[in-house]
């Protein structure tokens, strides 16, 4: 028994994860999910026999979902920026798991990965928690491998920067409505999606994945009712005339760290306000009356400071 026990590898609790893109370590990530390898089971009857035969069909790979701070590694942000600007690109990479001594214990390596979705956090003036971004990567192939035992650097320069970005540190502005936006106190979370098309090519076991169209979200923000007159007039005046309001050229969402230094800016293009909703009127509440504004966009860009 002692001999068998000695032959077993040490178990470990992994709390340190690192993302590699094309061989470059791009920064610490907070959470990894998905990446399972599956295959369909095909059942069929052969000839006149009554037996049912089974065999495995094509291999399928679940999307990898990684959670990172809003200020992630530069290479990851370049990849994200390419996707949300409508120019998705493929990358090879790996997700490395390390033990409490920062020694690499396991790897999930992926090939020809495309970003299928980027979920951005809500920004809320009352929320001091860390702002995280969730990136879904759809690879053509995933392999599991043992770690090489190399020492991952415990001091990741992006880790400290990520801690200083809270959901309450933001400024939202709509072009032409600057005065009305001074007290916007919340912007709902939003996601950019890239439709992934799977193509079965010849006798190849793995499907070829091709990027489809980019789907941009609606942007939803909240402001005090006293500031909402400009948005209400823009939305309803034209509607009462049976006309559509002209799109607003752009809107921006800028986030900063605890020292008020700007760290990044989202630019939303060709914005169309399609709903202005007032809070329920209730004599028993003392909360400030708020207005919810919903805005459709046709494009989006991101710049990291």
Which pLDDT tens digit goes with each residue over 98-120?
887 778 888 889 999 999 999 99
Average pLDDT, stretch 119-139? 92
Residue 55 makes CB contacts below 8 A (sequence gap 6+) with 41, 42
Residue 45 makes CB contacts below 8 A (sequence gap 6+) with 51, 52, 53
The per-residue pLDDT for range 30-40, each reduced to its tens digit, is: 888 888 888 88
Residue 44 to residue 35: CA distance in whole angstroms: 29
pLDDT of residue 10: 66
Residue 175 makes CB contacts below 8 A (sequence gap 6+) with 248, 249, 250, 251
pLDDT of residue 1: 46
Give percent of the chain above pLDDT 90. 37
Contact 66, 19 (CB under 8 A): yes
Structure tokens at 167: 């959901």
pLDDT of residue 174: 96
Average pLDDT, stretch 202-207? 70
Average pLDDT, stretch 198-223? 85
Whether the per-residue pLDDT at 197 is higher than 70: the answer is yes
More reliable by pLDDT, 288 or 109: 109
Confidence of residue 217 (pLDDT cuts 50, 70, 90): very high
Contact 129, 165 (CB under 8 A): no
The per-residue pLDDT for range 52-106, each reduced to its tens digit, is: 888 887 788 899 999 888 876 778 888 998 898 888 999 999 988 888 777 888 8
Rounded (5°) CA angle 120-122-128:
120
55-89 in b/e form (b: 16+ CB < 10 A) is eeeeeebebbbbbbbbbbbebbbebbbebbeeebe
């Amino acid at each position: 028994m002692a001999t068998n026990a000695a032959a077993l590898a040490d178990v470990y609790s992994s709390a340190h994860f690192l993302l590699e893109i094309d061989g470059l370590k791009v920064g610490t990530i907070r959470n990894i999910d998905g990446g399972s390898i599956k295959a369909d089971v095909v059942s069929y009857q052969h000839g006149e026999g009554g037996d049912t035969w089974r065999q495995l069909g094509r291999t399928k790979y679940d999307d990898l979902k990684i959670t990172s701070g809003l200020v992630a590694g530069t290479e990851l942000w370049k990849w994200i920026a390419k996707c949300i600007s409508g120019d998705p690109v493929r990358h090879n990479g790996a997700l490395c798991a390390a033990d409490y001594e920062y020694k690499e214990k396991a790897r999930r390596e992926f090939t020809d990965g495309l970003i299928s979705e980027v979920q951005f956090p809500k920004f809320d003036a009352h929320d001091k928690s860390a702002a995280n971004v969730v990136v879904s990567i759809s690879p053509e192939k995933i392999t599991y491998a043992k770690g090489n035992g190399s020492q991952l650097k415990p001091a990741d320069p992006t880790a400290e920067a990520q801690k200083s970005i809270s959901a309450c540190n933001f400024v939202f502005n709509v072009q032409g409505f600057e005065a009305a936006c001074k007290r916007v106190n919340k912007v709902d979370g939003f996601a950019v999606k890239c439709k992934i098309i799977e193509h079965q090519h010849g006798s190849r076991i793995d499907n070829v994945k091709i990027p489809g169209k980019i789907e941009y979200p609606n942007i939803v923000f909240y402001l005090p009712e006293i500031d909402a007159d400009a948005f209400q007039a823009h939305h309803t005046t034209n509607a009462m005339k049976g006309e559509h309001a002209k799109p607003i050229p752009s809107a921006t969402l800028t986030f900063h760290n605890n020292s008020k230094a700007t760290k990044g800016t989202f630019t939303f293009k060709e914005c169309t306000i399609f709903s202005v909703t007032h809070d329920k009127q209730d004599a028993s509440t003392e909360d400030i009356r708020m207005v919810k504004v919903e805005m459709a966009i046709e494009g989006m860009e991101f710049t990291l400071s």
